[in-house]
Amino acid sequence: GQQLNQSPQSMFIQEGEDVSMNCTSSSIFNTWLWYKQDPGEGPVLLIALYKAGELTSNGRLTAQFGITRKDSFLNISASIPSDVGIYFCAGRNSGGGADGLTFGKGTHLIIQP
């Protein structure tokens, strides 16, 4: 089956630093999604990308859909304590329909005081 390689696996940063994480795949996806998951909760959608080359921002978050359709990155600027959590990329073959998502293994973001 399809796999997403998400890196880094974990990040230890200082408050105020910028963060960058990415996902790559050996196969093409037509939708890329970025989610954040806090302990005991479900993934919460951060950014959705539907077009190759698309660059989208949501507050301090910016994500891009790679031009080859095989990668995506998420940047967080000026990190704050509430950014702590696990970030997941997810890809889907179609832009619509009920296709299931393929998830990366997550990036665990830890902010050191």
Task: Provide the binding-site residues for other proteins, judged by CB under 8 A.
Answer: 31, 33, 35, 37, 40-45, 48, 50, 86, 88, 90, 95-103, 105-106
**Residues ≥6 apart with Cβ < 8 Å to 34:** 45, 46, 47, 48, 61, 63, 72, 74, 87, 88, 89, 90
Minimum Å gap between C-beta 16 and other proteins is: 27
Residue 46 or 76 having the CB closest to other proteins: 46
Residue 6 or 22 having the CB closest to other proteins: 6
Residue 62 or 103 having the CB closest to other proteins: 103
Tokens encoding 49: 């990308």
Task: Read off the amino acid at residue 72.
Answer: S
